[in-house]
Structure 1
Amino acid sequence: MVASFSSCSPIPALVIVFSIYLSTFAVVEAGDNGGFSVNIIHRDSILSPFYDPSVTHFERLQNAIHRSMSRANRLKQSAISPLEVSSQVVPDNNGSYLMKMSFGTPPMEMFAIADTGSDLIWIQCKPCEKCYKQKAPLFDPNKSSTYRNLSCKSKECDLLDSGHRTCAPKTNDWGYSNFYGGRSSTRGFLAIETFTLGSTSGSSVALPEKIFGCGHNNEGTFDERESGLVGLGGGPLSLISQLKSSIGGKFSYCLVPFEKENVTSKLNFGSEAVVLGDDVVPTPLVIKDPVTFYYVTLEGISVGNKRLTYKSSSNVAAEKGNIILDSGTTLTYVPSDFYQNLESEVKKLIHGKSFGYPLPLCYNASTDVNVSITAHFSGADVKLKPQNTFFRLSKKVLCFAFIPHVEDDMGIFGNIAQMDFLVGYDLEKRKVYFKPADCSKH
């Protein structure tokens, strides 16, 4: 392809991450209210196709912690350099969750990384100039009756950053190129296709005329069981954004705790994503660069009866939208000077000698600890459960699920802190809702 860029203005593309596993049944169209739910499965679950029975539960949790640290560093770099977001987004090939969806007509099922930290949906396609090895057959656009390439004259040119598209001179088709960290990349053509998602009701939801990248040149640190990536972020090409009108800008999830390895979590859309009840607390979503992160404002954290004001030496914590809700990061990250105060108060309520490896605050404890911790978001006091604040790295080692950023950067509210909460996003009202729940029964 010849690099012939148009004058369409670039739009930032990036948000948070998770990966989901969907089943496909008889196809039905989504209703006007766009309400449906799907199962989501953690990559380490016994229900996951990546499940390795030779790895213990605690080893899987330790692996998740290592992935969390790598991911937090990538999100930090993206937040620091919003103009370089596209090059900073790294595909989470060891992602927290996995996704199975179908492409084309007739539908072809495949796994992909579902990533709320990126925008573009893409899969590996025939003919493949250079592809990483995958177990599933490559998608063949010539065998789908609903596939078509996007013309360079199409209005969709505004949806992809001008630095990541080219116009093929012979065919007049839009080519794309996305470069990630870790020497990973994808190149191919932007196209229109029908996606099919399975719902928990037993019927599938057909999503016609959706934009995706048909990748003919892909390389990097992808697993052979993954056929591509599904962006669930807030950028214009993500699955959430492309569904926005039919789902009313609403989605929610309920994450099952790690120890419940044989239970699926839930991802809800449209009318099924509305979070109701007397115990629901809302907090505003804050729009900042990069626009695809879900920013909220954390005002403080209480440990027992002691409330600590959320602050940092760099004053980042004093700003609105000072923390990101990220279901793809395992731990919760706060500025280092605030963390020191937080850790000090936690230690006062726990009897026993602590140690700082492999995380800053751990204990030798065969039984769980119950320290009352409440996260005070703007307008929403979220009382965390013991499983949201401490977790087991082994039968005898218990560690605090909050850790400091090396630098005083944007905070990240991770998935341990969100487990057994129904977390709802209303992108039209710009609010996030928290409701305590038993996600294994939700």
Structure 2
Amino acid sequence: MPMANFCFLLLLLLPLLSSKPAFSESSLKPGFHFDLTHVDATWNFSKFEILRRGIKRDKTWIQNFNKMIISNLKVRMPVVEQRGSYLMNLSLGTPPISFSAIFDTGSDLVWTQCKPCLQCFKQPTPVYDPAQSSSFANATRSAALCKELTNSSSSNGCEYSFSYADESFTTGYLAFETLTLGGANQKVSTPDIAFGCGIKNHVKGLTQGAGIVGFNRGPLSLLSQLHIKKFSYCLSLNGTGSLVFGSSTSIDNTTNRAIKTTPLIQNPYNPSYYYLSLQGITVGQKYLPVPSSSFRLNTDGSGGMIIDSGTSMTYITEDVFDVLKPVFASQTNLQVIWSSIGLDLCFQLPSHNNSKLDVPDLIFHFEDLDLKLPVENYMVVNEELGIVCLAMGAAGGLSIFGSMQHQNMLVLHDLEKKVVSFIPTQCSQLDY
């Protein structure tokens, strides 16, 4: 081949040779999914005990989050959120090192513990060692994603320090690495994923994982970096679940009816969170007599309701919960009793507790979507104590639609259309 023709051909091929494989929804087969496992599921706790442990975690971060809302309303807050409750598996590096991390719709940074670990919690898998990976690269101060860190430092690399509202934290440096996702049936690797290499870390109560995978709308989240516009998750009653990227055949097979959606609202002060437009609540036959403004996202960034898989149950503002409690109790043919387990409305179990619980229906009225919850999604039984409790609580100015109310529902986020759907599903029976 003449040299001139060879050089011309080389110029044509160079962009292809130098380009790196891209990860996108169009490259995924329908049903590309991950298994999820609740952080407490491996301990054989009852559903009641898992919820009780989750409530303890919830209360700490809700208190701290409300303090931050009050003090930072007029400032765009850094990513300061609670950790989630479900673990997913992924691999990092070349060769790939597998580990589990918390799937968290309330934060954006993807991070794991790294050697040399100056302060690290115990994890079940080997700590990631950058020196053993041929695809590892430090992020520079000028990297675009480094500039997204509101609290980064250092004149050379890109250091970070994140604190979470449950008093957990991670400190380290931003780096780029090849991330491998998927299981035995389908694996996809993509290079240059920004992640936090944590060398000082503390996550309260975490013993089954090695970090956090952020799934909110922030620029550092895994969704944003992989350009994923649609994802869904399904949490079963037994503490397991599934997470799906892109379109899912399970959605098509779940129902032949038109899928109803409700808008995902964006808070200009906290644009990464997934806000819902809750308009009211019906208990039994009674629509709660509270102002519609009780659930509204205000122009100053306060109020509203977020949907979060990492919060154990649903919390609503105290003034609304104070109305809901007597209305719910008046329609429940059980004796109200006091309990110290962290739930505000409990009843004495009937002696014939094999029969169906006689409790009122609970319907959340979102914009364009009325969601009637199954009884098992808002009532929790402890046969040992002989009680049954409403799995909802009061919070400060922010309401949260938590994971117990999501159970056995396919929760589909469409970020392009800015909507979310709730599709009743037997999550443990999904076939991908």
Q: What interval of TM-score do these two structures reach, taking the shorter chain for normalisation? A: 0.7 to 0.9
2:364 matches 1:375? yes
**CA gap 1:157/1:145 in 2 versus in 1, 3 angstroms:** same
Size of the aligned set, in residue pairs, is 390
Quick one: which of 47, 58, 63 aligns to 1:73?
Answer: 63
**CA gap 1:345/1:128 in 2 versus in 1, 3 angstroms:** closer
1:240 maps to: 223
In 2, distance between residues paired with 1:57 and 1:149?
43
Which residue identity lines up with residue 440 of structure 1 in the other structure? S
**CA gap 1:273/1:290 in 2 versus in 1, 3 angstroms:** farther
Instruction: Please tell me whether the aligned partners of residues 164 and 178 of structure 1 are also in contact (alpha carbons under 8 angstroms).
Output: no
2:7 maps to: none
**CA gap 1:224/1:376 in 2 versus in 1, 3 angstroms:** closer
Quick one: which of 396, 410, 419 aligns to 1:431?
Answer: 419
Instruction: Please tell me whether the aligned partners of residues 104 and 309 of structure 2 are also in contact (alpha carbons under 8 angstroms).
Output: no
Q: Name the SS of the counterpart of 2:273 in structure 1.
A: coil
Q: Name the SS of the counterpart of 2:380 in structure 1.
A: strand
Instruction: Please tell me whether the aligned partners of residues 192 and 212 of structure 1 are also in contact (alpha carbons under 8 angstroms).
Output: yes
Instruction: Please tell me whether the aligned partners of residues 108 and 221 of structure 2 are also in contact (alpha carbons under 8 angstroms).
Output: yes
In 2, distance between residues paired with 1:147 and 1:197?
17
Q: Name the SS of the counterpart of 2:178 in structure 1.
A: strand
2:202 matches 1:212? no
Q: Name the SS of the counterpart of 2:270 in structure 1.
A: coil
Gaps of 5+ in 2: 1-21
Alignment of 1:180-259 (within 5 A): 180=164, 184-199=168-183, 202-219=185-202, 221=204, 223=206, 225-244=208-227, 247=228, 249-257=229-237
Q: How far is 1:79 from its partner?
A: 4.2
In 2, distance between residues paired with 1:182 and 1:341?
28
Q: How far is 1:194 from its partner?
A: 1.0
Cα distance per residue 1:230-282 (max 9 Å; x no partner): 222221101121122xx3x111111112xx35xx3111111228955426221
2:259 matches 1:280? yes
Quick one: which of 146, 152, 166 aligns to 1:157?
Answer: 146
In 2, distance between residues paired with 1:242 and 1:77?
30
Q: How far is 1:182 from its partner?
A: 6.1
**CA gap 1:116/1:31 in 2 versus in 1, 3 angstroms:** closer
Q: Name the SS of the counterpart of 1:67 in structure 2.
A: helix
Q: How far is 1:29 from its partner?
A: 6.8
Q: How far is 1:104 from its partner?
A: 0.3
2:387 maps to: 397
Instruction: Please tell me whether the aligned partners of residues 193 and 209 of structure 1 are also in contact (alpha carbons under 8 angstroms).
Output: yes
In 1, distance between residues paired with 2:168 and 2:322?
36
Q: Could you tell me the TM-score, scaled by structure 1's length?
A: 0.80
1:25 maps to: none
2:129 matches 1:140? yes
Cα distance per residue 1:18-45 (max 9 Å; x no partner): xxxxxxxxxx976625441111111222
Q: Could you tell me the TM-score, scaled by structure 2's length?
A: 0.81
Q: How far is 1:88 from its partner?
A: 4.0
2:277 maps to: 297
Instruction: Please tell me whether the aligned partners of residues 35 and 88 of structure 2 are also in contact (alpha carbons under 8 angstroms).
Output: no
Which residue identity lines up with residue 325 of structure 2 in the other structure? E
Q: How far is 1:430 from its partner?
A: 0.8
2:11 matches 1:32? no
2:8 maps to: none
Instruction: Please tell me whether the aligned partners of residues 234 and 291 of structure 1 are also in contact (alpha carbons under 8 angstroms).
Output: yes
Instruction: Please tell me whether the aligned partners of residues 362 and 373 of structure 2 are also in contact (alpha carbons under 8 angstroms).
Output: yes
Instruction: Please tell me whether the aligned partners of residues 80 and 107 of structure 2 are also in contact (alpha carbons under 8 angstroms).
Output: no
Quick one: which of 274, 291, 295 aligns to 1:311?
Answer: 291
Gaps of 5+ in 1: 1-27, 46-50
Cα distance per residue 1:70-123 (max 9 Å; x no partner): 343344345443547437434x3xx52123211001100122233222211112
Cα distance per residue 1:273-296 (max 9 Å; x no partner): 895542622111111021122101
2:242 matches 1:266? yes
Which residue identity lines up with residue 204 of structure 1 in the other structure? K
2:93 maps to: 104
In 1, distance between residues paired with 2:116 and 2:78?
25
**CA gap 1:211/1:438 in 2 versus in 1, 3 angstroms:** same
In 2, distance between residues paired with 1:67 and 1:267?
23
Report the RMSD for the aligned CA atoms in angstroms: 2.8
Which residue identity lines up with residue 176 of structure 2 in the other structure? I
2:54 maps to: 64
Q: How far is 1:300 from its partner?
A: 0.8
In 2, distance between residues paired with 1:252 and 1:338?
29
Q: Name the SS of the counterpart of 1:208 in structure 2.
A: strand
**CA gap 1:385/1:207 in 2 versus in 1, 3 angstroms:** same
Instruction: Please tell me whether the aligned partners of residues 99 and 209 of structure 2 are also in contact (alpha carbons under 8 angstroms).
Output: yes
In 2, distance between residues paired with 1:223 and 1:404?
25
Cα distance per residue 1:301-328 (max 9 Å; x no partner): 112222225538xx55244772111111
In 2, distance between residues paired with 1:56 and 1:307?
33
Instruction: Please tell me whether the aligned partners of residues 90 and 181 of structure 2 are also in contact (alpha carbons under 8 angstroms).
Output: yes
Quick one: which of 323, 342, 359 aligns to 1:341?
Answer: 323
1:353 maps to: 335
1:9 maps to: none
* Stretch moving more, 136-145 or 285-294: 136-145
